Amino acid sequence: MTEGTGTAGKPIYQRVLLKLSGEGLLGDKEFGLDLAMVERVAGEVKAAHERGIQVCLVIGGGNIFRGVSTAAKGMDRTSADYMGMLATVMNSLAVQNALEKLGVQTRVQSAIPMSMVCEPYIRRRAVRHMEKGRVVIFAAGTGNPFFTTDTAAALRAVEMNCDALFKATQVDGVYSADPNKDPSAKRFDRLTFSEVLTRDLRVMDTSAIALARENNIPIVVFSLHSPGALAQVLERRGLFTEICPDSDQE
């Protein structure tokens, strides 16, 4: 894993995975895709890519279909989760289209084979794409029900040997409580994986945290709503929370 502070204005990461929630693509809409938001996200990814950073993405599907909440209303959980996976493919194709309009070569790889619209997920091919300067978007989660796209993001970050997993959320880091509901919520600059688990901070699901912890991949939580936010956190500037291995805590 890449270490060090880097020179001023220069990112210290060589390869990162960016996890985007489906809700992050809603913009001002209540459902579906806000194309202006998709284009802005693509611009953020392009800016990182142009700095020589190898970028891969996992995108949720909650803006189109959320398996867990639908299953809670009585639908079979397995069927609901597969529908949610298909929603992530739709989002991935939308972001691919926006990136390629900006001149960034992009490949979508799906954990559920659908060769007419994207490549099947093949780890070595994905690594080769990034080495050739392409952005890779991993769709359809892990390809299995009962696993979230957070877990898929952590799994792909491990498989791709990423330096860090960047999770773009609706707020600028990890808080002790929901800052939208509790004005006294405290924002953390730095946490260990153990602290996240013991304090039950709902950053990502426990399977994702466990995967990152076991493989020493830090998680950086930030808000993508501010223009240039991704470029800033890649340079360790701006507001973000870093979740690091226990041994790295000062």
Q: Please give the pLDDT value at position 180.
A: 84
Whole-number Å distance between alpha carbons of 244 and 248 = 6
pTM: 0.92
pLDDT digit string (tens) for 51-103?
999 999 999 999 998 766 766 688 899 999 999 999 999 999 999 999 999 99
Domains of the chain by start residue, with CATH: 15-248 (3.40.1160.10)
- pLDDT under 50: residue ranges of the chain: 1-5, 250
Question: How remote is the C-alpha of 5 from its chain's centroid?
Answer: 23
**Rounded distance, CA 53 to CA 17, Å?**
10
- The pLDDT, as a whole number, for residue 71 is 63
Cα angle at 16 between 13 and 21, to 5 degrees? 140
Residue that is written with structure tokens 């597969």 in the block: 82
Q: What is the pLDDT of residues 168-182, one digit of tens each?
A: 998 899 999 988 889
User: Between the CA of residue 115 and those of 90, 112, 118, 177, what are the distances in Å?
Assistant: 14, 9, 5, 43
Q: What is the pLDDT of residue 4?
A: 40
Residue 234 DSSP SS3: helix
Closest CA to 230 of 3, 41, 92: 41
